[in-house]
Amino acid sequence: MSKRIFLDTNVILDFLGERKPFYEAIAKIATLGEKEYLILVVSPISFATVNYFLSKFENSKIAREKLRKFKVICEVCSLNEHTIEKGLNSSFKDFEDALQYFSATESDCELIITKNGKDFKKSFLPIMTPNEFLKSLALEEFNK
C-alpha cells in the first residue's frame, strides 16, 4: 500500500511556483505521487492559499490551470466542523497550521511534508522537509 503523505501549503507553493532552490525536491515527490508510489493528501485551504499567492505573480488563469493539473495527482481531504473544532481548541499558535495538522491526522496520513517544521512542534506525526523525506525513501530502498 502506498504511503499517505500530507503536503503543507508552503511546499505546494514551492512546487507550483517553481521556487528555487526548493522546487526540485518537491517536484520529485509530486512525480512519485503522479506515478502512484505515494498518495499525496492536501487540504482545501492550501488550494485557496496557493491560488492567492500564484495569482499575485502570474496570470490568474495560469495559476488556476496549475492547480487543476495538481489536483489530478493528489487527494483533497475533508475539512469539516470536527476539524475546525479541534483546531480552535488546540495548543497550536497558528490556526491554519492546526487545521493542516488535524486534516492530516483525520486523513490517516503517515507524515507531514513542510519546510516549517517548527510550526508543528505539537505533532504526533513525523514532520519532514521534502529533502529529508526523499533521503528517508532512499534509505528504505537501501534497507530492502
Domain residue limits, the chain: 3-137
CATH H superfamily, domain 3-137: 5'-nuclease (3.40.50.1010)
Per residue in 69-96, pLDDT tens?
A: 999 999 999 999 999 999 999 999 999 9
**Which residue intervals of 73-143 are DSSP H helices?**
81-88, 95-106, 130-142
14 closest CA partner among 133, 130, 136, 135: 130
Strand order through the sheet with 3-7: 74-76, 38-42, 3-7, 111-113, 127-128
pLDDT class of 22 with cuts at 50, 70, 90: very high
Average pLDDT, the chain: 92
CA count, 13 A, side-chain hemisphere, 49: 15
- Residue 139 reports pLDDT greater than 90: no
| Contacting residues for 57 by C-beta, under 8 A, at least 6 apart | 17
pLDDT class of 121 with cuts at 50, 70, 90: confident
Residue type for 14, please? D
